[in-house]
Structure 1
Amino acid sequence: MRSEAGLFSAVLRHWRSRHGWSQLDLALAANVSARHISFLETGRAQPSREMVLRLGETFDLSLRDRNAMLRAAGFEHAFDEPAFDGGLPPPLAHALERMCAQQEPYPLIVLNRHYDVLHTNQSAARMFLHVMKQLPTSVNMMRLLFDPAVRDLVVDWERVARELLSRLHRELLNRPNDAGLATLLQSLLALPEVPKEWRQPDLSTSSEPTLIFRVRYQDLELAFLTTVTIFNAPQNVLLDEIVIESYFPFDDPTKEACIRLARA
């Protein structure tokens, strides 16, 4: 596998620029000479596979971006990029199913890096069907939130929508090469119901680790505390990117409504 001339050099300059580092800064962080970094960026030297991996780790790149850097240098990828269906290692697939079952009768949703629903437990499927009148197959959670039919069901929609758009802005700043994430954000910002002031990222407020989400269902107002789980030290791209959202009842009426739906 051969790289296109100059491709790795361009990728290296891109990530160094994104971090605001000089060649000396990168050299010190990666524990290599500044001369070698200069030679890599000008194409006078070709990196070894180990050097590419070291630079990817120094930049703290996602596993997908580390694979892309390896390909730019002419090497095969280092981290598998399996599909969700059948792609999880058996122990982790079993652990995920246990998590789904343990979360019952409250919702649990597995998302990819673009907020597409990959998997749900039975409670989440029921919630989609009863509250939002659709099954969660091929659903994008961000797009769903901005759907007019769903938007009217969400209590304090503006607060929730703005907080999630801010999250998307932050994620895109961390993953500037993610075209899918950029397309998702731009499509949401272009919607007429999104105020112009939301189109600029608000980085003055911290990103909360949890979110209170309230939705209207029949004559009830269901309130959930959402938490996010990710895998630590993943060794393939799928595990590096999937997000597990768990919804816990925030009050007794929500808890009782979830139990009733499970028995229906």
Structure 2
Amino acid sequence: MKFGQTLTEARRRFRASQTQLSALSGISQRQISFLESGRAVPRRQTVDKLAEALALNYEDAAPLYAAAGFLHWNARVEWSDVAFDEIRSPVAAVLQKQEPYPAYAVNRAGDILTSNQAFCSLVTQALGKGGVQDRLRRNIYDLTLSPDGIGRFLLNPEQVVPHVLRRLNMAALISADARHVLDRNQQTPLARKYAPRSREPMRGMPVFPERYRINTAEIGLIAITASFGSPEDAVAQEIQIEFFLPSDKTTFDWLSA
């Protein structure tokens, strides 16, 4: 089935007009019209946005990705796989250069593959040493959303948590591992409280500091995400690097101490 027909049928099942889908997805009504009529070819990010806006689960989203010619990613990619032989050392070097600011590499499901010392120190200062830290620090979504995680130190959860949930929900559309992460976190207090807000259309770019109170310090971190390869390369897109920069002098001094 052609992509335009598949998208039209999915939109009608959702009972949304092209204008309504435009508001939900952030894609112009004109572009949606072109996609449905076959006058435009979708990019991978476009399909991601449409699938999320139409609230498609993993199985229902598969035909949309297939019609667009993209892999509906489900395979588990290990950081030790030969596919990443050429980037492991450069990634480690980039993370080290980011010191004294936190940075880590994650896969689509949020599993933390490797990190720098600044990130480890930040987590240790927040959670202490031992079992809780060792368990939660393996996945960034667990670390943020768990009642025992760093989310409880957030000063602006109304901004941060909906953004985290949107990202996890989008990942769950195309990753079975991310679906499992979503399943175990969607009933946490933070997820339940902010899930309605996460389903609201995004307005503008989600650029804001993540503000935490850790011990007696109030710090602000601005996240930057980098990915590998082209948007069509499913394996490369599985890995992302997250950098954090201080949003103010207090945070700069705290991280540099």
Asked if TM exceeds 0.5, the reply is: yes
Give the aligned partner of residue 178 of structure 2. Answer: 181
Post-superposition Cα deviations, 1:203-249, rounded to whole Å, max 9, x if no partner, equal: 42247354411122221111111011111327965422111110001
Q: 1:95 to 1:147 in 2, by over 3 A?
A: same
- Aligned pairs for 1:1-150 (under 5 A) are 19-20=7-8, 59=68, 61-62=70-71, 64=73, 83-85=78-80, 87-133=82-128, 134-135=133-134, 139-149=138-148, 150=150
Shift of 1:118: 0.8
Q: Is the 8 A contact 1:110 1:243 kept in 2?
A: yes
State the TM-score, normalizing by the size of structure 1: 0.63
Q: 1:128 to 1:87 in 2, by over 3 A?
A: farther
Give the aligned partner of residue 212 of structure 1. Answer: 209
Distance, in Å, in 2 between the alignment partners of 1:184 and 1:17 is 32
Distance, in Å, in 1 between the alignment partners of 2:203 and 2:238 is 22
CA RMSD of aligned residues (A): 3.7
Distance, in Å, in 2 between the alignment partners of 1:60 and 1:207 is 29
State the TM-score, normalizing by the size of structure 2: 0.64
Q: 1:110 to 1:60 in 2, by over 3 A?
A: farther
Q: Is the 8 A contact 2:161 2:194 kept in 1?
A: no
Shift of 1:16: 7.3
Q: Percent identity?
A: 20
Distance, in Å, in 1 between the alignment partners of 2:204 and 2:186 is 19
Number of residues paired by the alignment? 206
Q: Could you list the runs of 5+ residues in structure 2 that have no partner in the other structure?
A: 11-35, 42-63
Q: Is the 8 A contact 2:100 2:256 kept in 1?
A: yes
Distance, in Å, in 2 between the alignment partners of 1:148 and 1:234 is 34
Distance, in Å, in 1 between the alignment partners of 2:157 and 2:39 is 47
Letter in 2 for 1:217: I
Q: Is the 8 A contact 1:167 1:207 kept in 2?
A: no
